[in-house]
A and B are shown apart, each in its own frame.
Chain A
């Protein structure tokens, strides 16, 4: 995806006042709900810089008191695992029962 910021840093700012259309870069929005839960992906917004991305995210994804904190990050800055990773990345975590409390025996009647 090409973004305005990528394009326009290389040319004179006033040169972009042509009638051709503009697309602002995309930002991913993570909102932390009240009560200490972690930030969760809410969606995305278009914005030219971090400050307006934050403001837009606040107006778009926290209109109903959904959040106490917001993170925004340029979508192109996110590195994501690929579906091909699914096996090698996640399967090895499935056969390590010793990582779970049920793996360990405790004498009857003892409360842990």
Chain B
């Protein structure tokens, strides 16, 4: 399918109005449809960040595949990390319908110009981190992705539908690990609480800055790429998670956490946005390691990718020669 090529002409306001009317009417935008260049660029940015996050997200969890404590846990974790690779792949494919190659996007990740979710710049220090990631990080991602499954861009929305279906097990396996640890030996319980302590706040940061500090939000909402604001989604996640923590006897590490009867929301203490921006800007605990690992895999794999392409080219040549003969 020939993807949408970037428009160079200045854009006709009437055309933009027509485009926005389509979105307001709930129509999906498809690859060959006309779209404002800025819409296209915002989507490429968002979708490729999302795809990069899936791929980089394989690393912290992959860190424990070889140490998973039972065969069942080893298989679940491997299947989960494999799903992340699949999800990265689906979203890259969706992004490619916007006229960029996956190869270009991966270059942007590897040379540090593209962003990915900062949550994956935190280390997995104990087995309980695998539980915490499944429960909190995938939990937060599901809240976000359920919304994105209704995004205005068809290929993105369809990728999200598939991903949401598959990710159902991710959160449950994480929560099950946490519940088991919390009900286990004192050392296991400590492990679980410690993981919650470390992952709680970074998970809340996954939804991005407060609405008042989120420059892209208005436009993304107007264009139906996002359907809910960062703060709305974060609140939804908090409300779901507080009850889940109580049910398995773990303590949310926020002394100011309080239930607001009026809004029926759990209110939290202040998020440390300095930490958020520090990690976004590359100074999280694992930023360098994550990129180095991706670069290494990419570089080590180069000869393999080249070999396969060379083989296929030889085969194609041999076929065309035998046809000509």
Chain A residues in the interface with B (C-beta under 8 A):
1, 4-5, 8-9, 13-14, 16-17, 19, 21-24, 26, 28, 42-46, 48-49, 52, 60, 63-64, 75-76, 78, 80, 82-83
- Report the nearest B residue to A56, measured CB to CB: B89
Chain B residues within an 8 Å CB radius of A22: 103, 302, 305-306, 309
Chain A proximity mask over B107-134: 1 for CB below 8 Å, otherwise 0: 1000000000000000000000000000
Q: Considering residues A9, A13, A17, A26, which has the most beta carbons from chain B within 10 angstroms of its beta carbon?
A: A13
Supposing A5-B313, A22-B302, A83-B32 touch, asked if A48 and B90 sit within 8 A by C-beta, the answer is: no
Give CA–CA (A22, B102) in the complex, Å: 11
Contact indicator A28/B1 (Cβ below 8 Å): yes
The 9 closest A-B pairs by CB, nearest first: A48-B312, A13-B310, A23-B103, A8-B313, A22-B305, A44-B93, A48-B308, A49-B312, A4-B309
Q: Is the interface of B mostly helix, strand, loop or mixed?
A: helix
Contact indicator A16/B306 (Cβ below 8 Å): yes
Chain A proximity mask over B7-33: 1 for CB below 8 Å, otherwise 0: 000000000000000000000001011
Any A CB within 8 A of the CB of B159: yes
Contact indicator B32/A13 (Cβ below 8 Å): no
CB of A31, distance to nearest CB on chain B (Å): 11
Chain B residues in the interface with A (C-beta under 8 A):
1-3, 30, 32-34, 82-83, 86, 89-90, 93-94, 96, 99, 101-103, 107, 159, 162, 166, 302-303, 305-306, 308-317, 320
Contact indicator B34/A83 (Cβ below 8 Å): yes
Give CA–CA (A1, B104) in the complex, Å: 12
Chain B residues within an 8 Å CB radius of A76: 2
Supposing A23-B103, A60-B89 touch, asked if A82 and B32 sit within 8 A by C-beta, the answer is: yes
- Report the nearest A residue to B79, measured CB to CB: A63
Give CA–CA (A21, B166) in the complex, Å: 31
Chain B residues within an 8 Å CB radius of A49: 311-312, 315
Chain B residues within an 8 Å CB radius of A26: 93, 96
Contact indicator A44/B96 (Cβ below 8 Å): yes
Give CA–CA (A22, B2) in the complex, Å: 20
Chain A residues within an 8 Å CB radius of B317: 9
| New A-B pairs, 7, CB < 8 Å, besides A4-B309, A13-B311, A17-B303 | A1-B96, A5-B316, A22-B306, A22-B309, A24-B308, A63-B83, A83-B34
Give CA–CA (A26, B92) in the complex, Å: 11
Chain A residues within an 8 Å CB radius of B306: 16-17, 22
Contact indicator B316/A43 (Cβ below 8 Å): no
Q: Considering residues A22, A28, A52, which has the most beta carbons from chain B within 10 angstroms of its beta carbon?
A: A22
Contact indicator A24/B93 (Cβ below 8 Å): no
- Report the nearest A residue to B159, measured CB to CB: A43
Chain B residues within an 8 Å CB radius of A9: 313, 316-317, 320
- Report the nearest A residue to B307, measured CB to CB: A17
CB of B201, distance to nearest CB on chain A (Å): 33
Chain A residues within an 8 Å CB radius of B32: 80, 82-83
Q: Pick the contact of A24 from B34, B162, B309 — CB < 8 Å?
A: B309
Contact indicator B302/A48 (Cβ below 8 Å): no
Supposing A43-B90, A52-B308, A83-B30 touch, asked if A23 and B316 sit within 8 A by C-beta, the answer is: no
Q: Considering residues B1, B33, B103, B159, which has the most beta carbons from chain A within 10 angstroms of its beta carbon?
A: B1
Give CA–CA (A3, B30) in the complex, Å: 22
Supposing A8-B313, A13-B310 touch, asked if A23 and B102 sit within 8 A by C-beta, the answer is: yes
CB of A30, distance to nearest CB on chain B (Å): 13
- Report the nearest A residue to B315, measured CB to CB: A49
CB of A12, distance to nearest CB on chain B (Å): 9
Chain B residues within an 8 Å CB radius of A44: 93, 96
- Report the nearest B residue to A4, measured CB to CB: B309
Give CA–CA (A57, B218) in the complex, Å: 37
Chain A residues within an 8 Å CB radius of B86: 60, 63
Contact indicator B310/A17 (Cβ below 8 Å): yes
Chain A residues within an 8 Å CB radius of B103: 21-23
Give CA–CA (A21, B94) in the complex, Å: 21
Chain A residues within an 8 Å CB radius of B107: 21
